[in-house]
A and B are shown apart, each in its own frame.
Chain A
Amino acid sequence: MLHFNNLYIDETVKNEELVKFISEKISYVNLHFVSGENHPGDGILLTRNRGAFVKPCPGQKGSVCCGYWVVEWGLGCPFGCEYCIIQNYTGAGDITLFVNWEDCKREIIELRQKVKGPIRLGTGQFGDPMALEKIYPLNTQIIDWTRDFEDFTLEIKTKSDYIEPILLAESAKHVTMAFSLNPLWLIDKLEHGAASLEERLLAARKVATQKNCSLAFHFDPIIPLANWQQSYEEVFNLMAAKLKDLRVNWISLGTFRFPKGFQEYVEKYHPDTQILSEEFYPSEDGKIRYFRPFREKIYNFAREKLEKLFPETAIYICMETPHVWERLNQAKFLSADLKKLLDARIK
Chain B
Amino acid sequence: MTNSNQKPQNFLLPLDMVTVSPALERSVRQRGILVPAIGCGQLIIDGHQRIKAALQAGQSHVPVVDIQGEPGLLFAELNQHRALQPFEIVSVFSKVPDSKKGEFCLACNLSTSPQMLRLLDYLAAEYQNFEPQKFNGIPMNIWREIAHLKNFALIKWFVELEGTVSEKRMTASLLRQSDRKNSLPEVIEAKSAREAIDFLNSLVQPRRTAALTKFQNCISEIDIPSGISFKIDQTFDRPGMDFQLHVTRNSVKRFEQAAEIAEKIFAKVEEL
Q: CB distance A279 to B204 under 8 Å?
A: yes
A residues within 8 A CB of B207?
279, 291, 293-294
Q: CB distance B237 to A283 under 8 Å?
A: yes
B residues within 8 A CB of A289?
237
* Complex Cα–Cα for A283 and B239 (A): 12
B residues within 8 A CB of A291?
205, 207-208, 235-236
* Complex Cα–Cα for A120 and B113 (A): 44
Q: CB distance B238 to A284 under 8 Å?
A: yes
* Complex Cα–Cα for A289 and B237 (A): 9
Binary contact track B219-238/A, C-beta < 8 Å → 1, others 0: 00000000000000001111
- The reply on A163 being an interface residue by CB < 8 A is no
A residues within 8 A CB of B180?
263, 267, 276-277
- The reply on B41 being an interface residue by CB < 8 A is no
- The reply on A221 being an interface residue by CB < 8 A is no
Residue of A268, A278, A321 touching B113 (CB-CB under 8 A): A268
A residues within 8 A CB of B239?
292, 323, 327
Residue of A279, A281, A282, A293 touching B270 (CB-CB under 8 A): A293
A interface, how many residues as a size bin? 10 to 19
What's the least CB distance linking A336 to chain B, in Å? 22
Smallest Cβ-Cβ distance to B236: which chain A residue: A292
* Complex Cα–Cα for A223 and B8 (A): 61
A residues within 8 A CB of B208?
279, 281, 291
- The reply on B261 being an interface residue by CB < 8 A is no
What's the least CB distance linking B152 to chain A, in Å? 18
A residues within 8 A CB of B148?
267
B interface, how many residues as a size bin? 10 to 19
Interface SS majority for chain B: loop
Residue of A267, A283, A284, A293 touching B211 (CB-CB under 8 A): A293
What's the least CB distance linking A300 to chain B, in Å? 11
Q: CB distance A282 to B237 under 8 Å?
A: yes
From 118 to 173 in chain B, residues with beta carbon under 8 angstroms from any chain A beta carbon are: 148
Q: CB distance B235 to A281 under 8 Å?
A: yes
- The reply on B103 being an interface residue by CB < 8 A is no
What's the least CB distance linking A277 to chain B, in Å? 5
Residue of B113, B205, B237 touching A292 (CB-CB under 8 A): B237
Smallest Cβ-Cβ distance to B113: which chain A residue: A268
- The reply on B195 being an interface residue by CB < 8 A is no
A residues within 8 A CB of B206?
279
B residues within 8 A CB of A293?
207, 211, 236, 270-271
What's the least CB distance linking A282 to chain B, in Å? 7
Smallest Cβ-Cβ distance to B182: which chain A residue: A277
B residues within 8 A CB of A281?
208, 235-237
B residues within 8 A CB of A323?
237-239
What's the least CB distance linking B168 to chain A, in Å? 20
Binary contact track B21-49/A, C-beta < 8 Å → 1, others 0: 00000000000000000000000000000
- The reply on B253 being an interface residue by CB < 8 A is no
Binary contact track A249-264/B, C-beta < 8 Å → 1, others 0: 0000000000000010
* Complex Cα–Cα for A284 and B236 (A): 11
B residues within 8 A CB of A276?
180
* Complex Cα–Cα for A276 and B181 (A): 7
* Complex Cα–Cα for A88 and B172 (A): 25
* Complex Cα–Cα for A278 and B207 (A): 10
Candidate in B148, B207, B208, B236 with the most chain A CB atoms within 10 angstroms:
B207
What's the least CB distance linking A225 to chain B, in Å? 11
B residues within 8 A CB of A268?
113
Binary contact track A135-165/B, C-beta < 8 Å → 1, others 0: 0000000000000000000000000000000
What's the least CB distance linking B40 to chain A, in Å? 34
Smallest Cβ-Cβ distance to A289: which chain B residue: B237
Smallest Cβ-Cβ distance to A280: which chain B residue: B177
Smallest Cβ-Cβ distance to B235: which chain A residue: A281
- Since A279-B206, A291-B236 are in contact, a sample of 14 more A-B pairs with Cβ atoms closer than 8 Å, ordered by chain A residue number, is A267-B180, A268-B113, A276-B180, A277-B182, A281-B235, A281-B237, A284-B237, A291-B208, A292-B235, A292-B237, A292-B239, A294-B207, A323-B239, A327-B239
Seen from chain A, the residues whose Cβ lies within 8 Å of a Cβ on chain B are 263, 267-268, 276-279, 281-284, 289, 291-294, 321, 323, 327
10 pairs across A/B with beta carbons < 8 Å? A268-B113, A279-B204, A279-B205, A281-B208, A291-B208, A293-B207, A293-B211, A293-B271, A294-B207, A323-B237
Seen from chain B, the residues whose Cβ lies within 8 Å of a Cβ on chain A are 113, 148, 180-182, 204-208, 211, 235-239, 270-271
